[in-house]
Chain A
Amino acid sequence: MRITGEAGLRAPAGEVFKALHDPEVLVRTIPGCRRLDLVGPDSYTMVVHAGVAAVKGEFAGEVRLSDPDPPHGFTLHASGSGAPGTVTATVDVTLVEVDGSTVVSYAADAEIGGMIGGVGQRLLGSVATKTAAEFFAAVDAEMTGAVGPAAVEPTRAEPAQKRSFVAPVRPRPAPATFLAGAIVGAAAALLGALVGGLVATRAGRR
C-alpha cells in the first residue's frame, strides 16, 4: 500500500534537523516508541509498543538509510515485526523550507502482513497518516517549547556507535486514533510510528 502525507514544522530546516538530531527527542515523540538503538552506520533498531484493548504488542523494528541528498531528502527502509503482524516499508522523504518553516513530505510504499495486514488494510492509510501527523505535532511542540523537555535518564551508557535511548515512563494521553478500533488502531500506530520514526531517525543521524 502507498501512504503519503506532509507536515509543517514551525522552524527552519536547520532547526528541524537539529531537533530531530536528538534521539532522546525522537524516543519521546514517536507514538509508542519504547527505545531506539543506534546499531551501526545508518542503522537503527527500535521497539514500538502499539495496540488498544485486547490487541497489543511490541514490534521490533529496523531502519536503514539510503540515497541521502542533504538537506533535501533521503530514502528509508524499515521493517518491523511483532505479534500483530509485519511491516516492511520504503519511504521517500523530502524537506522544503518555506518562509522559515519546514514542510516534511513523505511517501511510503509499505507491505503490511500478518493480522494487521489482513484485517485492517482498508483503514490503515488514513489512520496511519493521522498518527504520523501526531508525531510531527509532537516534534513541533518540542521545538517551539510548547512542552518542556521531560526528564530522561538513559538506562545505560553505550559506546558512541551503539547507543540506546529509552522512553520515559509517563502517562501519555491516548490519541484520538487509538479509539478507532483495536486492530486498526494497533496497525495504524505501528505504521504511523514507523513512518514518523523513519523521518526522525534519518534526521537524528545528522
Chain B
Amino acid sequence: MTTKLFGEPIPRREDPRLVAGAGRYLDDIDEPGQLAAAFVRSPHAHASIVDIDVTGALEVDGLVAVYTYEDLAGPLAQPLPLLIPHPSLRAARTPYPLAKDRVRHVGEAVAMVVATDRYLAEDAAQRIRVTYQPLPPVVGLDAASKAGHLVHEDVPDNVSAHLVQEVGDAAAAIAAAPHRLHLELHIERSASMPMEGRGVHARWDETDRSLRVYSSTQTSTSLRFALAAKLDLPVDRVEVVTPDVGGGFGVKIVHPWPEEVLVPWAAIRLRRPVKWAEDRREHFISSAHERGQQHSVDVGFDDDGRLLGLSVKFLHDNGAYTPYGIIVPQVTSTQLPGPYRLGAYRVEFHSLYTNTVQVTPYRGAGRPHGVFVMERTMDAIAAALGLDRTVVRERNFIQPEQMPYDQGLIFQDGRPLVYDSGDYPAALRLAKKLVGWDEFTAVREQARAQGRRVGIGIACYVEGTGVGPYEGAYVRVETTGKVVVATGLTTQGQGHETVFAQIAADQLGVPVENVNVVTGDTRRFAFAVGTFASRAAVMSGNAVAAAAGKVRAKALRIAGEALEVDPADLSIVDGVVSVKGTPQAAIPLASVAVLANPLRYAFDEQAKQATQFAVGGGIHRPPVAEDDEPGLAATGYYSPVRSTFANGVHAAVVETDPETAEIRILRYCVVHDCGRLINPRIVQGQVHGGVAQGVGGALYERIVYDEHGQLLNASYMDFLIPYASEVPAIEIDHLQTPSPLNPLGIKGAGEAGVIPGAAVLAAAIEDAEGIPVHRMPICPSELWELRNADHR
C-alpha cells in the first residue's frame, strides 16, 4: 500500500543537497575562457552625465571591453520594458540598461566593464572617470509630493500613477457615522535582501547561433522572451536556466535587469562566456526596495464598533522607475479591507517618483502596509469605544456563510476581488485560545506589579494568492518506472522538489523517491509565468496534478488493454498497476511506459517488449491511435478564473524595557489557513521564514536615505537582519478551508508569515506602553522618543 503523500509532512527532498553545500548557485558556474563583468555606478542620486573618460581603465591588464550607453543599439538602446502596464499608470518610466545622459539614483549603472576576472574588472571600473553635473535630488514622499524638484523632467508633479477605487459613498457614510477617527499611519522603506544577490551568466554558441543564459531569477520563461526581444534573437535560439537560487522574496521577479541584458549581449559580442554576480552593496543600491508608504485614514463606525465607512488616501514611494507598474500600491489598496465588511470604502493612492532605488514587490507586496492600516484602525476603534480589540474584529468579520464574498474591488489580476472561502471567526477563536487572549489581562497586571511592561497584540489578514494567468507541467513515466516532472516556474528555496513530487506521486501511485522535479528551465518546460504572489503551489501544483492525472488515466488504459480488464477496476500502488482485489493480475508502471511507446528498435532489453513483433493484436489500427501520443507522458495546465484568498491571525506578546525601551517578543502565535496542506512541514517552514522577515520589518530592518539621496546603511552592519536570537519561538495552528476554485483545494502560503508582522507588533507594543504606535518599523530609540513625547 502506497502511503498517501498529499498532506504528509515528509522532509524536504532538496535539503540534503543544499545543506551539504552541493547546491549550484549562479556564482558557482564557471567555464573555461569565461569573462567577468563589473559595473560603474552613479555615486549621485540625480545628475547629468557630462563625460565618461575610460582611458585610465585601458591600462589594466586583462581588460577586455568597456561599454557605455553609446555602444548600445536597436532595442537595447531603448528603455527596459514596462512589465505590468495599467491605465492608472499615467507616467511610467523605466531605465536604460546603461544610463543615457542622466542618472536618477545612487547605484544606477553607467558603464559596464568586462575583463578576464572580476578583480580586474573592478580595478578597471574604478579607473573610469565619470564627470557628473549634480542636480537637486528628490528624496522622501514629502519632497516628491511638493514637486519642488522633478525626478523626470517630463513628469511635472512626480506622480507616476493615481488610482481611486470606491465601493458605496464612503465620505457620506463617515460623515453620518456616530463616531469618527482620523489616523496617520506610516511604513518606512525596506528591502527583501535575499542572501544570494542577483546574477547572470551567458554563453553564446556561435556555430549553433544559440544563447544559454543562467540567471538567479524568479522567471526564466519571461526572461527568455525579454532577452529574445532585446537582443533581436529568435526565441528558439535562447534558453534560460535557473540554477539553485538563494532566495528571491520578490526582488528577482523583476526582469530583465540591466545586467541581465548586458551580460548576454557582451557574451554574444565577445564570443566568450560572461558572468556577473551581484555583490551586497550593489544589491542595496541597484536592485529594488519596497514598503515605503504614508497612509491617511478616516473611519466612521457605530456604537458597537461596526464599520460604516472607511476612506484611505496614501502616498507610495516608487523610487526612480516603475518597471513593475502599480502592483504594490494596488495590492495595498485592495487587500486593506482584510476579513471585514467595510460598509463604504474609498481608497486613493498617488505613486510618486523619488531619486532612490526603484520599488517593486517584496514578500507581502503591499499587504503588510494594508494590514497595518486596517488593524491599527481596528485597535483605534476598540480604544475609542473601550471595547476588547477582538470583539470589534468579530463584529466586523465576513461570516463563512457569506462566502464567496465580493469586496466590489478590482484585484491585481484585473479580476473582481472575490473571497472564495475562509472562516475568519474560527481563525480568531483559535488564535485567542493559542495565545491566551482572555487570560492576558491578569498577566499584564501581574507584570505591572513587578515593574515589567508586557503587552499583547492581534492582527488578522486576508491574502490573495495564486494569481493567474496560468502555469503548466509536464509529467512522464520513464521505462525505469521513474517519474519526471517539469514545470516552468522557478524555485528559490520553497521546497518545490518536495511538494510537486508529492502531488505527482500521489496521482500516479509511485513512491515519492521515484519522482524527479525540474523547475525554471526553459529547455524542459517553455510556458510559464513565474514565482510570485504565493502562486507556485496553487498554480504549478494544480498543473502537476492535471498532467499526472492524464498520465494516470493513460497508464490505466494501457494496463487495462494489457491485462484485458476495465481500467476502472485497476489501481496503482507502489508503481504497480493491478486489478483491485486481485493483486496477482498486475503490470509494473515501468512496463506500461514501455508499452506506451511503440518501437521499431530494441535498443535495450526493455525496449524489446515494445517492438512491433512483441506487441500483438490490433494489426488493423495504427500503433499510435489518432488521438494519442507515444510515451506515458502528458502536459497539463491550470488557469484560474481568479485568485484564491488565504487568511490568518497573528498574536504576539512583547515586553518593553522601562528604561532602555528595548523590545523583546515573548510569544508569537500564528493561525494560518491556506486551504488544504500539501506538506505541513513546508508550510510551517514558510510561516517561520515569513515571521522572521516580519519581525525584521517591524523592529530592525529599514532602508535609510539622507537628504542627498545617499543610502546610509548599505551593508549588513547597519541594515539589521534579525538573527535566530531575535526571532521568537513560533507557535502555529492550522485551519484548512479548501479553496473551491482549484481541484486540489489549496491556497498560497509563501508570503503569509510576513504580512501581519508590523501590525501585530505595533499593537503589542502599544498595549505594553499605552502609547499609540502609528509608524513602523520601531527601534528602541524611537520608542524612547515616543515615551518622551507622550510625557510632554
Chain B residues near A122 (CB, 8 Å)?
A: 712-713, 717-718
User: Given the interface contacts A118-B281, A119-B281, A121-B718, does A113 sit within 8 Å of B44 by beta carbon?
Assistant: yes
- What does the 1/0 interface line of B686-724 toward A look like (CB < 8 Å)? 000000000000000000001010111111011000000
**Shortest Cβ distance from residue B444 to the other chain A in the assembled complex, whole angstroms:** 36
> Is B126 at the interface (CB under 8 A from chain A)?
yes
The CA of A175 and the CA of B44, in the complex, are separated in Å by: 31
Residue picked from A85, A88, A115, A121, most chain B C-beta under 10 Å: A121
Are B284 and A118 interface neighbours, CB within 8 A?
A: yes
The CA of A119 and the CA of B126, in the complex, are separated in Å by: 18
Q: Which residue of B lies closest to A184 (CB)?
A: B717
The CA of A114 and the CA of B126, in the complex, are separated in Å by: 11
Chain A residues near B374 (CB, 8 Å)?
A: none
> Is A131 at the interface (CB under 8 A from chain B)?
no
> Is B9 at the interface (CB under 8 A from chain A)?
no
Are A1 and B706 interface neighbours, CB within 8 A?
A: yes
**Shortest Cβ distance from residue B46 to the other chain A in the assembled complex, whole angstroms:** 12
> Is B416 at the interface (CB under 8 A from chain A)?
no
The CA of A105 and the CA of B711, in the complex, are separated in Å by: 28
Residue picked from B43, B44, B710, most chain A C-beta under 10 Å: B43
The CA of A114 and the CA of B715, in the complex, are separated in Å by: 12
The CA of A1 and the CA of B707, in the complex, are separated in Å by: 9
Are B710 and A113 interface neighbours, CB within 8 A?
A: yes
Chain A residues near B715 (CB, 8 Å)?
A: 118-119
The CA of A87 and the CA of B507, in the complex, are separated in Å by: 63
Are A85 and B713 interface neighbours, CB within 8 A?
A: no
> Is B185 at the interface (CB under 8 A from chain A)?
no
Residues 197 to 256 of chain B near chain A (Cβ within 8 Å): none
> Is A201 at the interface (CB under 8 A from chain B)?
no
Q: Which residue of A lies closest to B704 (CB)?
A: A121
What range describes how many residues of A lie at the interface?
10 to 19
Partner of A81, one of B43, B706, B708, B710: B43
Partner of A119, one of B43, B708, B714: B714
- What does the 1/0 interface line of A81-114 toward B look like (CB < 8 Å)? 1010110100000000000000000000001111
Chain B residues near A51 (CB, 8 Å)?
A: none
Are B713 and A121 interface neighbours, CB within 8 A?
A: yes
Are B106 and A113 interface neighbours, CB within 8 A?
A: yes
The CA of A110 and the CA of B770, in the complex, are separated in Å by: 40
The CA of A113 and the CA of B42, in the complex, are separated in Å by: 9
**Shortest Cβ distance from residue B281 to the other chain A in the assembled complex, whole angstroms:** 6
Are B718 and A114 interface neighbours, CB within 8 A?
A: no
The CA of A194 and the CA of B281, in the complex, are separated in Å by: 25
Q: Which residue of B lies closest to A60 (CB)?
A: B129
> Is B285 at the interface (CB under 8 A from chain A)?
yes
> Is A185 at the interface (CB under 8 A from chain B)?
no
Are A121 and B43 interface neighbours, CB within 8 A?
A: no
**Shortest Cβ distance from residue A11 to the other chain B in the assembled complex, whole angstroms:** 37
Chain A residues near B713 (CB, 8 Å)?
A: 118, 121-122
> Is A117 at the interface (CB under 8 A from chain B)?
yes
The CA of A57 and the CA of B710, in the complex, are separated in Å by: 20
Are A83 and B126 interface neighbours, CB within 8 A?
A: yes
Chain A residues near B710 (CB, 8 Å)?
A: 111-113, 117-118, 121
Are A115 and B281 interface neighbours, CB within 8 A?
A: yes
Chain A residues near B714 (CB, 8 Å)?
A: 117-119
Chain A residues near B284 (CB, 8 Å)?
A: 118
**Shortest Cβ distance from residue B181 to the other chain A in the assembled complex, whole angstroms:** 38
Partner of A86, one of B43, B126, B281, B712: B43
Residue picked from A1, A81, A86, A111, most chain B C-beta under 10 Å: A111
- What does the 1/0 interface line of B399-432 toward A look like (CB < 8 Å)? 0000000000000000000000000000000000
The CA of A83 and the CA of B128, in the complex, are separated in Å by: 10
- What does the 1/0 interface line of B23-50 toward A look like (CB < 8 Å)? 0000000000000000000011000000
Chain A residues near B106 (CB, 8 Å)?
A: 113, 118
**Shortest Cβ distance from residue B719 to the other chain A in the assembled complex, whole angstroms:** 10
The CA of A57 and the CA of B126, in the complex, are separated in Å by: 10
The CA of A85 and the CA of B714, in the complex, are separated in Å by: 13
Q: Which residue of B lies closest to A111 (CB)?
A: B708
The CA of A119 and the CA of B283, in the complex, are separated in Å by: 13
**Shortest Cβ distance from residue B706 to the other chain A in the assembled complex, whole angstroms:** 7
Are A118 and B126 interface neighbours, CB within 8 A?
A: no
Chain B residues near A85 (CB, 8 Å)?
A: 43
Q: Which residue of A lies closest to B717 (CB)?
A: A119
**Shortest Cβ distance from residue B734 to the other chain A in the assembled complex, whole angstroms:** 42
**Shortest Cβ distance from residue A61 to the other chain B in the assembled complex, whole angstroms:** 14
Chain A residues near B44 (CB, 8 Å)?
A: 86, 113
Q: Which residue of A lies closest to B137 (CB)?
A: A111
Q: Which residue of A lies closest to B284 (CB)?
A: A118
- What does the 1/0 interface line of B264-296 toward A look like (CB < 8 Å)? 000000000000000001001100000000000
**Shortest Cβ distance from residue A55 to the other chain B in the assembled complex, whole angstroms:** 12
The CA of A81 and the CA of B129, in the complex, are separated in Å by: 9
The CA of A57 and the CA of B123, in the complex, are separated in Å by: 11
- What does the 1/0 interface line of A104-141 toward B look like (CB < 8 Å)? 00000001111101110110000000000000000000
Residues 119 to 177 of chain B near chain A (Cβ within 8 Å): 126, 134
Chain A residues near B711 (CB, 8 Å)?
A: 117-118
Q: Which residue of A lies closest to B130 (CB)?
A: A81
Chain B residues near A118 (CB, 8 Å)?
A: 106, 281, 284-285, 710-715
Chain A residues near B285 (CB, 8 Å)?
A: 118
Are B281 and A117 interface neighbours, CB within 8 A?
A: no
Apart from A86-B44, A121-B712, what 20 extra A-B contacts exist at CB < 8 Å? A57-B126, A85-B43, A86-B43, A111-B708, A111-B710, A112-B710, A113-B708, A117-B43, A118-B106, A118-B281, A118-B284, A118-B712, A118-B714, A119-B281, A119-B714, A119-B715, A119-B717, A121-B706, A121-B718, A122-B712
Interface residues, chain A, with chain B CB atoms under 8 Å away: 1, 57, 81, 83, 85-86, 88, 111-115, 117-119, 121-122
30 cross-chain CB contacts under 8 A: A1-B706, A57-B126, A81-B43, A83-B126, A86-B43, A88-B134, A111-B708, A111-B710, A113-B43, A113-B44, A113-B708, A114-B43, A115-B281, A117-B43, A117-B710, A117-B714, A118-B106, A118-B281, A118-B284, A118-B285, A118-B710, A118-B714, A118-B715, A119-B714, A119-B717, A121-B706, A121-B710, A121-B713, A121-B718, A122-B712
**Pairs of residues from A and B, 8 with the lowest C-beta to C-beta distance, nearest first:** A118-B714, A113-B43, A111-B708, A119-B715, A121-B712, A83-B126, A86-B43, A114-B43
